[in-house]
């Protein structure tokens, strides 16, 4: 009596769902170990969001040590440790140099491709995928994922594909024009993992006030923004601020939005106070007004020219109820104090954000407690790996999120490329 025929081996050892930064690097990492890797990407090309990053210049990383890097990310930053050990800033630069892209640091902090073009980053990654023998299927939308005794089944627009190992590198919900759909969260949940609530982050603010629309030509360096709600007063950031037709943007806003977006679920609006004068406090201004009285009389607008653009000062005077043409010698004490109050704490109210359409990252995702930081393998489902934005981990502006995408993809790829273990799709929590 003949034994039943064994089922055919899956056509691929590993499937990577998502052809963004983390998915491409993971596939390269696994394929270099001689494994058969398939990328399923729902868009017409790889790396669409990568092309848009850093204003199409692609801020790859930064020069912080791993410890400082994790500290800047926040309480969840420690989870990044093993990935940064494998492909932190210096090693990431070596990785790109090996595949044909030199990098440069122009401001002592941010790491860029030498030509500052994101298309160059994508080009070398795609070329390395080809050299490594990774198969890529574009316009291939995944509709379902299932665990099996021998690994995983993935349903997609091209049919059904099986694999021993599966990586979710699907990204989040931010920038849907790049193909982001958030389906990775559903796939993770269908395989037993849990997710935290998601919010748009790295996103501009809309404001109740309309005066920012008058200042769209101006950028304020080292502006300080702080939440003016007592129980949330710790939420504050400093950085470049840009006024828009509908509110505020710029690095300081994108960083602050990581905290503001969740708050907008609790409050209809969020009051902020801004210091637009590089941190000058009330005492600094009183000393300056005192010094001005010893100099020849001049309009306030003239004296303020070194500190603020005239159009910005005009708006602040309106908020304080002070005439910018008033002389430094004749301004009343009450008007002076009112102006100083607005200079030190300019009030503005966040009414919302521009949503995922204007966001660069997603706040929230697959819970980190469900994932082993040393391998990025699920603790719940053996053989399932996760990398990049799909995880509940995000950082500020300045190369943090792209560095995490690359490093997490690389680490996951090392796990994907490891020798096969006994089929066992379930692990205890």
234-254 confidence digits (pLDDT tens): 999 999 999 999 999 999 999
Instruction: Tell me how far apart the alpha carbons of residues 372 and 69 are, in angstroms, rounded to a whole number.
Output: 20
Q: Supply the angle between the helices 48-56 and 400-416 in degrees, to the nearest 10.
A: 150
Residue 427, pLDDT above cutoff 50: no
What tokens does 123 get?
């080009």
Reported confidence tier of residue 8, pLDDT bands at 50, 70, 90? low
Q: Can you list the pairs that 326-330 forms with residues at least 24 positions away whose Cβ atoms lie under 8 Å?
A: 326/299, 326/300, 327/297, 327/298, 327/299, 327/300, 328/289, 328/292, 328/293, 328/295, 328/297, 328/298, 328/299, 328/300, 328/303, 329/292, 329/293, 329/297, 330/297
Q: What is the CA radius of gyration of the chain?
A: 26
Average per-residue pLDDT for the chain: 94
Contact 359, 190 (CB under 8 A): no
Which pLDDT tens digit goes with each residue over 351-408? Answer: 999 999 999 999 999 999 999 999 999 999 999 999 999 999 999 999 999 999 999 9
Residue 410, pLDDT above cutoff 70: yes
The b/e string for 268-303 (b: 16+ C-beta within 10 A; e otherwise) is: eebebbbbbbeebeeeebeeebeebeeeeeeebbeb
Q: How far from chain centre, in Å, is Cα 223? A: 20
When pLDDT is averaged across residues 2-23 and rounded to a whole number, the result is: 77
Instruction: Please give the share of the chain, as a percent, with pLDDT higher than 70.
Output: 94
Which pLDDT tens digit goes with each residue over 172-227? Answer: 999 999 889 999 999 999 999 999 999 999 999 999 999 999 999 899 999 999 99
Domain residue spans of the chain: 14-199+357-416, 204-354
Q: How far from chain centre, in Å, is Cα 158? A: 31
Lowest mean pLDDT among 51-55, 138-142, 282-286: 51-55
Tell me if the pTM is above 0.85: yes
When pLDDT is averaged across residues 13-24 and rounded to a whole number, the result is: 97
Lowest mean pLDDT among 28-37, 275-284, 369-378, 413-422: 413-422
- DSSP 8-state class, residue 192: T
- Where does 14-199+357-416 sit in CATH, by number? 3.50.50.60
Query: Quick one: pLDDT at residue 150?
Result: 85
């Amino acid at each position: 009596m003949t034994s039943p025929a064994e089922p055919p081996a899956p056509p691929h050892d590993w499937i990577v769902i998502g052809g963004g930064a983390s998915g491409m690097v993971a596939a390269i990492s696994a394929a270099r170990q001689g494994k058969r890797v398939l990328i399923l990407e729902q868009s017409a090309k790889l790396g669409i969001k990568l092309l848009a990053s850093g204003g199409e210049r692609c801020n790859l990383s930064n020069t912080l040590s791993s410890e400082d890097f994790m500290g800047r990310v926040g309480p969840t930053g420690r989870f990044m440790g093993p990935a940064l050990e494998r492909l932190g800033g210096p090693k990431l630069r070596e990785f790109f140099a090996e595949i044909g892209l030199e990098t440069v640091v122009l401001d002592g902090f941010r790491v860029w491709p030498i030509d500052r073009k994101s298309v160059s980053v994508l080009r070398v990654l795609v070329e390395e995928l080809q050299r490594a023998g990774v198969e890529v299927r574009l316009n291939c939308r995944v509709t379902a994922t299932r665990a099996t005794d021998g690994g995983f089944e993935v349903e997609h627009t091209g049919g059904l594909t099986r694999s021993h190992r599966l990586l979710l590198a699907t990204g989040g919900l931010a920038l849907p024009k790049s193909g982001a759909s958030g389906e990775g969260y559903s796939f993770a949940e269908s395989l037993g993992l849990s997710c935290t609530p998601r919010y748009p982050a790295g996103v501009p603010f809309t404001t109740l006030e309309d005066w920012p629309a008058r200042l769209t030509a101006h950028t304020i360096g080292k502006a300080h923004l702080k939440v003016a709600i007592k129980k949330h007063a710790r939420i504050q950031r400093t950085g470049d601020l840009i006024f828009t037709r509908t509110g505020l943007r710029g690095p300081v806003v994108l960083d602050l939005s990581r905290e503001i977006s969740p708050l907008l679920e609790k409050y209809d609006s969020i009051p902020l106070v801004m210091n637009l004068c590089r941190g000058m406090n009330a005492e600094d201004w009183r000393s300056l007004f005192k010094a001005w009285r010893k100099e020849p009389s001049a309009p306030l607008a003239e004296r303020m020219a070194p500190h603020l653009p005239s159009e910005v000062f005009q708006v602040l005077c309106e908020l304080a109820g002070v005439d910018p043409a008033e002389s430094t010698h004749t301004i009343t004490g009450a008007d002076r104090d009112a102006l100083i109050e607005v200079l030190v704490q300019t009030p503005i109210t966040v009414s919302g954000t521009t949503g995922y359409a204007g966001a660069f990252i997603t706040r929230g995702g697959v819970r980190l407690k469900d994932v082993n930081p040393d391998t990025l393998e699920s603790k719940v489902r053996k053989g399932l790996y996760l990398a990049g934005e799909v995880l509940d981990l995000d950082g500020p502006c300045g190369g943090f999120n792209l560095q995490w995408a690359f490093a997490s993809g690389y680490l996951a790829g090392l796990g994907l490329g490891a020798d096969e273990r006994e089929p066992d799709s379930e692990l205890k929590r």
